[in-house]
Structure 1
């Protein structure tokens, strides 16, 4: 049955019947769609010029696509037509590393580099963007930039529970010593702009192969660097407290609280070591502390957050 479907999908692709592909795959339950089907869906969405939806689909199989040049090519194409040239460049550069001298990849690389050399007419304007799967550092920019883009929900309650003054280098070093883990540079840079808080964008899609009961994870707040607030990394209800009192696995640092007291999002250092670049995972205590992989790094996680309407955070220029 599945082989017949794949043959049909390819026939529809060759006949430019892209909506047929989308309808057929979307009729399949999310948990039953494998890597190949999601790639067919993303490619069809690209061909229908539904680029944001295509990126969202490709991101659900990001883990499996790491070593696949075609996956990087296809998500890079979506970024290109969304005019997210920095993201597109990284995707196509990775595709070129995996499949050197592919003519289509080289052609896009030429176009992207040319576009990036052009002066931007909207340098001062926020531009709608989509989550990036690339390893892009969060560059230091004005705090007002993030605020203007509406990423943070700076209600009185959120500020009281989470938000601290920007951390000094000494405070960062002290926190890393206490936690025994080196915090990601991208996380530190973001906290220097807005140290902890409640984002408007609180949902993250779960990788297709990881999804069981959940298709997305909801967070309640992001812990900042400090000890003054209970909901901060070193606070009374911070990372060490949550791990020790909640019986969570000793794999790293608690990054986000979730609405459910039995769930958290963590920086996972098992693969990288204590001084390396951690992955981001979800841990569910009700499921026997089941660990679900979310993102390869902090910046990808932040850029992948969406709101209730499934719209991505507008982080152009800040990520």
Structure 2
């Protein structure tokens, strides 16, 4: 079977989520010690933007096959597109040393073919990635992870927070919750809900937001400075847009493949292509989660937003475009 035909076959398996068949094929190549075809199979995942899966395949043969130029360029592309631009540089340079001048296949028609152009990109974005990662690491290390037990929202924070049109009331806003409602949702999700979230839900149990914008803490002229926040999910499971509703946490993690770091708490204008999460990865399921933005279109890149849910809600504001804009 020619490589092009093989990649088309793998592409079909990936689209159909037939990962058992893919594992079977790669296992067979491993038994035959056919490192070339294992390396080639990673291209199918790169073609379909499944960069982390490509990295897993390539990591498994890195010790044995890292001197191969095709390996180097595929590894570099997978790293670069999974938000590891800083780590991709050495592999782009190594691919060039191995005689690679152009990339035959890229996952986007807008990507350059020239290896020199990719090296230039990695040199530009690698240091920026390091800066962003270090900045957000410092925020995580400094934040107070102790539970916030008594929460009151200032009236100015609550004023104009919700956008209660007919659609919001029908699909989002649930009945006023009691303690048993929170306990039931916590048991299903496997996480302790922040007291600040419970306090807000007792005022209004979910809904569309009028104050629908949050300013990210990492401010650079080359980075995104605002995220939109369309809604907050409530705890009334009868509403399709709620934590345990039809379009709730389970959907985003199991079907949309968002990282299993906590709870999808807010929807955005993209219809699921980016989400706001409560992130428990540095505090455990019983701790006080921070709030993060996850970009599904950007290989699930995580951006730190706020130390806790209360701070997040207090930072929301209504975005109004300038007439000049």
TM-score, L = length of structure 1:
0.52
Aligned partner of 2:308 in structure 1 is 297
2-structure distance, mates of 1:140, 1:295: 16
Deviations 1:136-155 (A, max 9, x none): 953289xxx68982211111
- Choose from 260, 271, 274 the match for 1:250: 260
Matched, 1:165 2:175: yes
Q: Is the 8 A contact 1:136 1:299 kept in 2?
A: no
Q: Distance in 2 between matches of 1:231 and 1:192?
A: 17
Residue among 202, 205, 209 paired with 1:199: 209
Q: Distance in 2 between matches of 1:147 and 1:157?
A: 23
When residues 175 and 167 of structure 1 are mapped into structure 2, their CA distance, relative to the original with a 3 A threshold, is same
Alignment partner of 1:139 out of 132, 152, 157: 152
Counterpart contact for 1:138–1:190, Cα < 8 Å: no
1:226 equivalenced with 2:224 (yes/no): no
SS at match of 1:264: strand
- Determine if contact 2:219/2:225 at 8 Å carries over to the other structure: no
User: 1:206-217, aligned counterparts within 5 Å?
Assistant: 206-208=216-218, 213-217=223-227
Aligned to 1:263: 274
**How many residues align structurally?**
187
- 2:196 is matched with 186
Q: CA RMSD in A?
A: 3.3
Contact kept, 8 Å, 2:157 with 2:313, in 1: the verdict is: no
The alpha-carbon deviation at position 281 of structure 1 amounts to 0.4
Aligned to 2:294, the other structure's residue is in SS state strand
Residue number in structure 1 paired with 2:296: 285
Q: Which residue of 1 aligns with 2:160?
A: 150
- Structure 1: gaps spanning 5 or more residues: 1-31, 36-60, 69-93, 95-134, 311-319
Q: Give the match's secondary structure for 2:184.
A: helix
1:9 equivalent in structure 2: none
Residue 217 of structure 2: SS of its match in structure 1? coil
Q: Secondary structure at the match of 1:255?
A: strand
Match of 1:23 in 2: none
TM-score, with structure 2 as normaliser: 0.51
> Which 5+ residue runs of structure 2 have no aligned equivalent?
1-127
SS in 1 for 2:208: coil
Partner of 2:43: none
Equivalent runs, 1:48-197 vs 2, <5 Å: 137-139=150-152, 149-197=159-207
Cα distance in 2 for residues equivalent to 1:293 and 1:196: 23
- 1:237 and 1:290 map into 2 onto residues whose CA distance is 21
How far the C-alpha of 1:200 sits from its partner, in A, is 0.8
Report deviation, 1:62: 9.3
Partner of 1:157, secondary structure, is helix
Equivalent pair of 1:137/1:299 in contact (CA under 8 Å) = no
**Structure 1 residue 285: Cα displacement:** 0.9
Runs of 4+ in 1 over 6 A off after TM superposition: 65-68
